[in-house]
């Protein structure tokens, strides 16, 4: 049996990924598929933490552009991430994967409050930990949450599951000649303004030397392949720039 390249990971799921082809809401088939893949890598001994977005239900930035107070809109987005986290927890536990949801905003009736040491202990006991509620602060994205939590729990890598198979120099959906990068340095991402993470999240990863792998979630088995070290998308890391 192959040995996984990474033993503790952060899997970053956008809210849109959970919507599947619908574009909004939660697609049970997609959630169940993700849960199955997480179970597979758990069976390899990988410790899995998940950061989930809420864009399939509510986007704070979109709300603020329509006149809503930005902080209020962002808090609404944080609540949307909790809905997605609970859906993912339900799917995981139905296939016998012990799971804990931790939120940055206290709501003890439905989830634990985020405590770093407790999260690490859950991982060590073989539980999947889902981080919801963003950072608990407005104006920060769930990308930043992923970078922050990865640093806090000492994750070896952030797996960015997207609807495209890597990072391109332009939008491949509109430009058939778009070039896909196999490897990038953090500074390349920042200087070229590439759509990997927002600049705050990318800078945090750079400072803490946390690699980022951007890959397509739509291909079944890609999470396992990425954890095993196969080249499934675009690798972002310091050594690429150096």
pLDDT bin (cut points 50, 70, 90) of residue 21 is confident
d(CA 129, CA 169): 33
Q: pLDDT digit string (tens) for 83-102?
A: 999 999 999 999 999 999 99
How many whole angstroms separate alpha carbon 228 and alpha carbon 198? 26
Is 3 among the domain residues?
no
Residue 58 within a domain: yes
Per the structure, the complete domain to which residue 184 belongs is given by 8-241
Whether 104 and 146 have beta carbons less than 8 Å apart is answered as: no
2 assigned to some structural domain: no
Tell me what the pLDDT averaged over the chain comes to. Answer: 91
Q: Does the residue 1 lie in any domain?
A: no
Q: pTM of the full predicted structure?
A: 0.92
Q: Which residue has the higher pLDDT, 21 or 199?
A: 199
pLDDT at 87: 96
The rounded distance, in Å, linking the Cα atoms of 83 and 227 is 27
Q: Per the structure, how many domains does the chain have?
A: 1
Task: Provide the strand spans (E) within the chain.
Answer: 8-13, 47-52, 99-103, 112-113, 128-132, 157-162, 167-168, 180-181, 183-184, 212-216, 234-236
pLDDT in tens, 104-129: 999 999 999 999 999 999 999 999 99
Q: Identify whether 47 is part of a domain.
A: yes
Structure tokens at 169: 């120099």
Asked whether residue 206 is assigned to any structural domain, the reply reads yes
Q: What is the pLDDT of residues 6-18, one digit of tens each?
A: 999 999 998 888 9
Query: How much is the average pLDDT of 39-59?
Result: 93
In a domain, 138, yes or no: yes
Alpha carbon 88 to chain centroid distance? 13
Give the rounded distance of the alpha carbon of 177 from its chain centre: 28
At 1, the pLDDT band (50, 70, 90 cuts) reads low
- d(CA 145, CA 212) in angstroms, rounded, equals 14
Secondary element (H or E) of residue 34: helix 28-42
Supply the CATH number for residue 57's domain: 3.40.1160.10
pLDDT value for 62: 74
For residue 91, tell me if it sits in a domain.
yes
């Amino acid at each position: 049996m192959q040995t996984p390249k990474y033993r503790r990971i952060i899997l970053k799921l956008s809210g849109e990924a959970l919507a599947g082809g619908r574009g909004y809401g939660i697609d049970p088939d997609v959630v169940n598929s993700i849960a199955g893949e997480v179970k597979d890598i758990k069976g390899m001994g990988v410790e899995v933490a998940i950061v989930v977005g809420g864009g399939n239900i509510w986007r704070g930035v979109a709300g603020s552009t329509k006149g809503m107070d930005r902080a209020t809109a962002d808090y609404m987005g944080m609540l949307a991430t909790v809905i997605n986290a609970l859906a993912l927890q339900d799917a995981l536990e139905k296939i016998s994967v012990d799971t804990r949801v931790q939120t940055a905003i206290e709501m003890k009736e439905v989830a634990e409050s985020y405590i770093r040491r407790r999260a690490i202990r859950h991982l060590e006991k073989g539980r999947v930990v889902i981080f919801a509620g963003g950072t608990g602060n407005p104006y920060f994205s769930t990308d930043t949450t992923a970078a922050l939590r990865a640093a806090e729990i000492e994750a070896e890598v952030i797996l960015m599951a997207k609807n495209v198979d890597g990072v391109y120099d332009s939008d491949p959906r509109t430009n058939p000649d778009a070039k896909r990068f196999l490897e990038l340095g953090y500074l390349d991402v920042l200087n070229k303004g590439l759509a990997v993470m927002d600049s705050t999240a990318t800078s945090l990863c750079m400072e803490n030397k946390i690699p980022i792998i951007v890959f397509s979630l739509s291909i079944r088995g890609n999470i396992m392949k990425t954890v095993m070290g196969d080249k499934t998308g675009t690798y972002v890391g310091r050594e690429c720039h150096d």
